[in-house]
Structure formats: C-alpha cells, structure tokens
Amino acid sequence: MKTTFKTLLQHIAYIFILFGCYFLIKKTHSLTPSVIFVIKYSSYIIFGLGLILSIRFNQGRIFLITLLLLLCELLLNYYAKLSIDMASYTQAFYPVMCMLIPLNIFIFSHLKERGIFSLWGKMRIFFILLELFVIYKMVIYNNTSLKKFLNLKFINLPLEKTIMHQIALLIFLLVLVFFIIKSYVKNSGLEVRLVGVIASVFSALLFINDNISFSIYLSVAGLMLIISIIEDSYSMAYLDELTKIPSRRALKEELMKLGNKYTIAMIDIDFFKKFNDKYGHDVGDDVLKLVASKLVQVGGGGKAFRYGGEEFTILFPGKSINEIMPHLENLREEVSKTGYTRKPSKSKSRNTGKLFVTISIGVCEKSSRHKDHNDVLKGADKALYRAKKKGRNCVSK
C-alpha cells in the first residue's frame, strides 16, 4: 500500500513538473538573453551529464535512452543542414521521429544490462545509429509509401491543428499507459521514471516549433533519467538486492541518527541452514524475501534492515522495550503462521504444499549499561542467543 501511494505521488509530481515547465515558458519573455541562451542549450548539457553518469555507473539502458534523445534532438534541430527540406521534414522526418522515440524507449526498457561498451552494448549503439541512418535515407529519397503510412487516420479527432500524426499519438499513449501499469505492478524505479520521461518527450515534440519549449521539456526528460541513475546507485549501495529492504550499510548510517532513547531487535530465522540444505537455495531465497516482507510491516515505528545471511535488525527510535514487545510478539506469530507455497518442479504436476519457518528475536534497549549503539547491538545479539536456548520461536530481552 505504501509503495502504491508513493508511486501515485510520483505520477502526480510529473503533472506538476510539466505544468511548472509550461508556466516557465510563459515567463521566458521576461528573462535576459543570457538566461534564454542557457535554457536553449540546457538539454545538451543535461544529456551529456546523463551519458557520463550512465557510463560511470554502468547503466546501459539509461545510456541508450539518453543517447537516443540527444541524437534525435540534434537531428530535429539541424535537419536543414542534412539537406532535408521543410516539406520532407513536416510530412516524413518529424512524424517518424515521433514514432521512433517512444518505441525505442519501450524496447530499451526491456533490455537486460549487458554493459555499455561490451559486444552487446556496442551492437545496441550501432542499432540506434543504423536506425537513424535508414530513416534519413528514406526521407531523403522521398519515400511515398512512408508518407502514406504516416498520414493514416483511425478516427476523427479535434486535434487537426497539431503537427503530430495519429500513429505517433497512439504509440505515445500506449507506451505511456504501459509504463504506468508496469510501475504499479512491478514497482520498478525505472518504469516510474520512464512515465515522466515519456510525458516530457511528448510535450517537447508537441511544442517543437518553439525552441525554448522544446529544450525545456527535453531537459526535464534528461533530469528524470539522471535521477533514475542516482536512485539505482542508491539502491545498489543501501538496499539489499534480494529482499529489497535496507542493507547493513544503511543500518550503520541509521544508527548514527538515533537519539538517547531507542531499542534494537535482532532477528534470526530458526534452523535456516538446515532448511536451505533440504529445499535448496532458491526456496531459501524466497523464504528470506517472505520474512523480510513481514518485518517491514512491524508496528511500533520499527524499521527493518537485513543484517546478513538469515539475520535481520529492526530499529525502534524513541521506544522502550516494554512499548515494542507486543509488536515483536505479533511479528513472531505472523511469521510462524505465514506459509511459503513451493512451486511445483518440472517432474511434478501438482503443488508440493506449504513450508513454514519461525524466527527468534533478541531485544535490547539503550541504557546506562548499554551506552551506545554498538553496546545495544551486542546486547540484542546476546538476547537473541538466549531466545535460541529457550527453544527458538520466541522473543527474549
């Protein structure tokens, strides 16, 4: 529910950003020539920065999308230097570019990361260049079949004054709806950002006759791609790749922020090594994800982290042991009642039933005996071992 709400807020934020761009464009007449000059070429700077960051953090998909947008902007701005006349530009070149950009973004978003300058990466870059070259040649040779295709009309729309053709409008709409749905279903940061990128690129192409508007909207698209790089880098550094909850590195930083009153709980999955050996690492990984999904729902203001292996940590800022014990008992009980449904193997046609695990929890509060977070962590760890000695599946102070 929290994730869905966060995704909804991001989509609403895109609407406000686009409106902000619109009002900025309305105010450009009052800006100085030097500011107008910077705005006009800001998209090139932002795309260049995006390419550098995507190379630095090895974000192949973002690199391809950024490169595509940069090359398309150059071609659309300087088509006259490529011997493309106004008629060919309006009837063929611009409409094809309007189709090309959303389709390519859609394709690139589904590619697996294979490295930017690996063989696969070079082939993908070559594909973009080849694609643009073929389009250029088709426009230059005045392909009549292409023009007829681009001018197809499906329905009568009150948008006849727009220079964007119906096929391009349909492609943009389908790609936008796809990314919106996928951002909710898959909960992927990239898809969420691509919703904003598609909306910004569409706005840019819709106002292509105004150089300032075109540059501003493309700059926004570039900034969203840069934000995606930063968010992915943050996720790799601070989120556990398997369980998608904060990692031990994030825990260390969070411990530095704690005040004078807090409680720490250490959690361990009971007999996990035996469970892993019996059912395999794939099932073990699924169980870790299942347990993590329960830990993040703990009450009492607790925040869950993966400590390492089958161990987890929950921080309760501003809470005493007595305040959080009911929440931890509810958590322990909830985990013990939640079964993991094993997927049937290839040799078996029926389901193999549910598997259940339990957790042991050790709790320690900051006090005169446990003065800093290292002492509290050690105290929680000792309490965890006491819980195991008591027979596991229990909470120990």
Whether residue 161 is predicted with pLDDT greater than 80 in this model: the reply is no
- Residue 153 is predicted with a pLDDT of 67
Tell me which CATH homologous superfamily contains domain 248-396: Reverse transcriptase/Diguanylate cyclase domain (3.30.70.270)
> Where do the domains of the chain lie?
2-238, 248-396
User: Which of the 8 DSSP states describes residue 91?
Assistant: I
Number of CB atoms found within 10 A of residue 50's CB: 27
Q: pLDDT for 102-120, tens place per residue?
A: 999 999 998 888 888 889 9
Number of CB atoms found within 10 A of residue 144's CB: 10
Is residue 263 within a helix (H) or strand (E), and if so which, with residue range? strand 262-269
Lowest average pLDDT, out of 122-126, 262-266, 274-278, 300-304, goes to 274-278
Report yes or no: 183 and 192 within 8 Å, Cβ to Cβ.
yes
Q: pLDDT for 4-60, tens place per residue?
A: 555 566 667 667 777 777 777 777 777 788 888 888 899 999 999 999 999 998 899
Report yes or no: 109 and 131 within 8 Å, Cβ to Cβ.
no
CA distance 66 to 81: 23
State the chain's mean pLDDT as an integer: 85
Cα pseudo-dihedral 292, 255, 10, 293, rounded to 10: 10
119-140 and 94-109 are packed helices; what angle lies between their axes, rounded to 10 degrees? 160
